């Protein structure tokens, strides 16, 4: 209905002359039908126009029109194991929601007469996140550049193994990829008003739960095979959603692996996306449910987006592990101010940003567990680590206050306080004087990252009524 030159697609936009820019027959036919209704309305006939979005399967039984392009496209990706790298946005409006709204509007016909109403999903799903979700749920996808993907699809088409691959390839080759990277925004003000007045906003959003129903329905219809997952045996964190920051190496990586292996639906986050993707791919091969997302904990907007995308992909977050951190040995007299500030930004502000992003959802669901990776330096100041010790003391105080304030809300707050751990943190130091005096731990008696991961798993597997506030974990031969 809306030509490409109209980016803000409002319900009251005048489309009288839009036919000049409509490129395909389907849109042109809809324009003709709508113009006929508008002329009838102008002559006094009662009429309302309902513009439907891209209808997906019903949210209960997952029945889906097999000729729908979104479905054919997803089936072609799942069955081929490859997907394109492009900025496509999946707009899915569950068909049962659309029919429910149409029937409801008919019962309130005086409200809808004379209006145009977009019955369309309020939230789209970026193709990147959809492919991540599909991979994390047992159908690993290799992401290829668009042209490379299309060439692979054309080769697969010749095998004749999949009718969907043939249809999708035919459609995609007949159009420029920019057609699918649609930047148009469809408003739904009239729909929102109606929902607010008559239905108390009973909008059916596409959630991870509904997407899983779709996958199950497609398996039952033998359109896709059963997922390649080993998650059928119940594990202690099955049905739990976890988010781990600083997961690209060291303690964060070990925690991520432990939570995934224990059954959690996991999102790993850090700035180094290449390392994250390798960790994710390794865990996927073992049948775990994992997605990787790039994020900088020092940026609140990054953390809010990370939490939002995690929730959209897997559902409400049950476990947050704040593992992102930096440590520099510095002598105060050497004024390594940039490194002081970096530690404050990552260790303090990063922890606050992650909590600020995840806490509203946990409070709403009255459940959640926040794990803050602190340090024994948060309990005792070590020379050469004055600023680092101060940041970890902040984490301890922040966690204690948060724990006290949320004690009756169903949320748990735990700090893990490791001593020396074999990680790359020691390699960050540039202050040679501080390094020679203080940064020489006995390599024979340091902890392993897996030791910290085991402590995290212990904390998050306690009964709901039991909260582990702190775990101080030291090398046996180096107590404090």
For 365-411, the pLDDT digits (tens) are 999 999 999 999 999 999 999 999 999 999 999 999 999 999 999 99
The band of 19, judged by pLDDT with boundaries at 50, 70 and 90, is confident
pLDDT at 74: 94
Q: Are strands 55-56 and 93-94 parallel, antiparallel or unpaired?
A: parallel
Among 1-15, 95-109, 256-270, 427-441, the range scoring the smallest mean pLDDT is 427-441
Q: Exposure of 123 by Cβ count < 10 A (0-12 exposed, 13-18 middle, 19+ buried)? A: middle
Q: How far apart are CA 340 and CA 316, in angstroms?
A: 35
**Mean pLDDT, residues 231-253:** 85
* pLDDT of 263 above 80: yes
| Sequence-distant contacts of 39-42: CB under 8 A, at least 24 apart | 41/114
Crossing angle between the packed helical segments 350-365 and 386-405, to the nearest 10 degrees: 10
**Mean pLDDT, residues 267-273:** 94
* pLDDT of 412 above 80: yes
pLDDT at 161: 65
> Which residues make Cβ contacts (< 8 Å) with residue 241, sequence separation at least 6?
264, 265, 266, 267, 310, 311, 314, 315, 316, 317, 318, 319
pLDDT at 262: 93
Q: Identify which has the larger pLDDT, 419 or 437.
A: 419
241-473 CATH choice from 3.40.1360.10, 3.40.605.10, 3.40.50.10950, 3.40.50.720: 3.40.50.720
pLDDT at 399: 97
pLDDT at 176: 66
**Mean pLDDT, residues 194-223:** 85
* pLDDT of 232 above 50: no
Among 195-199, 341-345, 423-427, the range scoring the smallest mean pLDDT is 423-427
Rg (CA), the chain: 27
The pLDDT tens digits for 162-189 are 777 888 888 887 776 666 776 678 888 9
The band of 438, judged by pLDDT with boundaries at 50, 70 and 90, is confident
Q: How far apart are CA 159 and CA 157, in angstroms?
A: 5
Active-site residue, selected from the candidate residues 194, 214, 388, 438:
388
Average pLDDT, the chain: 89
> Which residues make Cβ contacts (< 8 Å) with residue 229, sequence separation at least 6?
137, 138, 287, 288, 289
Among 128-142, 152-166, 260-274, the range scoring the smallest mean pLDDT is 152-166
* pLDDT of 201 above 90: no
Among 47-51, 274-278, 437-441, the range scoring the smallest mean pLDDT is 437-441
pLDDT at 179: 65
CATH architecture of 48-220: 3-Layer(aba) Sandwich (3.40)
The pLDDT tens digits for 287-311 are 788 999 999 999 999 999 999 989 8
Among 156-160, 213-217, 282-286, 391-395, the range scoring the smallest mean pLDDT is 156-160
Same fold, 48-220 and 241-473: yes
pLDDT at 370: 98
Q: Identify which has the larger pLDDT, 183 or 113.
A: 113
Percent of the chain with pLDDT over 70: 95
The band of 231, judged by pLDDT with boundaries at 50, 70 and 90, is very low
Task: Assess whether 388 carries a catalytic annotation.
Answer: yes
The band of 353, judged by pLDDT with boundaries at 50, 70 and 90, is very high
* pLDDT of 348 above 50: yes
Q: Identify which has the larger pLDDT, 187 or 203.
A: 187
What are the domain boundaries of the chain?
48-220, 241-473
């Amino acid at each position: 209905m809306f030509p490409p030159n109209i980016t803000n697609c409002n319900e009251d936009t005048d489309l009288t002359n839009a036919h000049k820019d409509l490129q395909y027959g389907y849109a042109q036919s809809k324009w003709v039908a709508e113009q006929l209704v508008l002329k009838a309305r102008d002559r006094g006939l009662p009429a309302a126009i309902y513009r439907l979005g891209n209808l997906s399967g019903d949210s209960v039984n997952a029945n889906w029109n097999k000729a729908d392009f979104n479905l054919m496209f997803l089936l072609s990706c799942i069955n081929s194991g490859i997907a394109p790298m492009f900025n496509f946005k999946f707009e899915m409006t569950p068909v049962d929601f659309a029919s429910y709204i149409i029937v409801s509007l008919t019962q309130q016909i005086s409200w809808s007469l004379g209006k145009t109403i977009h019955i369309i999903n309020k939230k789209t799903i970026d193709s990147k996140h959809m492919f991540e979700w599909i991979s994390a749920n047992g159908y690993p996808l290799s992401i290829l550049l668009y042209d490379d993907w299309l060439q692979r699809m054309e080769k697969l088409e010749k095998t004749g193994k999949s009718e969907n691959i043939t249809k999708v390839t035919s459609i995609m080759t007949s159009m420029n990829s920019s057609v699918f990277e649609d930047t148009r925004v469809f408003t739904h003000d009239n729909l929102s008003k109606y929902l607010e007045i008559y239905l108390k906003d009973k909008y059916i959003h596409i959630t991870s739960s509904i997407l899983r129903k779709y996958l199950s329905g497609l398996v039952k219809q033998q359109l896709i095979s059963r997922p390649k997952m080993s998650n059928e045996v119940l594990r202690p964190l099955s049905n739990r959603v976890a988010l781990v920051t600083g997961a690209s190496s060291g303690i964060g990586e070990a925690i991520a692996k432990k939570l995934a292996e224990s059954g959690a639906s996991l999102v790993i986050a850090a700035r180094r996306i290449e390392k994250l993707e390798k960790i994710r791919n390794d865990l996927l091969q073992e049948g775990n449910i994992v997605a990787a997302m790039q994020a900088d904990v020092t940026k609140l907007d990054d953390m809010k987006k990370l939490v939002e995308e995690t929730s959209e992909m897997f559902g409400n977050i049950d476990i947050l592990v704040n593992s992102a951190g930096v440590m520099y040995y510095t002598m105060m007299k050497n004024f390594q101010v940039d490194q002081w500030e970096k530690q404050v930004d990552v260790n303090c502000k990063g922890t606050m940003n992650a909590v600020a992003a995840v806490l509203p959802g946990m409070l709403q669901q009255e459940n959640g567990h926040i794990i803050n990776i602190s340090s024994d330096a948060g309990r005792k100041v070590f020379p050469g680590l004055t600023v680092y010790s101060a940041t970890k003391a902040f984490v301890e105080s922040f966690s204690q206050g948060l724990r006290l304030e949320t004690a009756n809300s169903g949320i748990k707050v735990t700090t893990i306080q490791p001593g020396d751990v074999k990680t790359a943190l020691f390699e960050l130091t540039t202050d040679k004087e501080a390094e020679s005096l203080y940064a020489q731990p006995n390599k024979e008696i340091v902890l392993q990252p897996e030791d910290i991961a085991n402590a995290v798993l212990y904390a998050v597997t306690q009964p709901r009524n039991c909260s582990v506030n702190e775990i101080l974990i030291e090398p046996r031969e180096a107590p404090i």
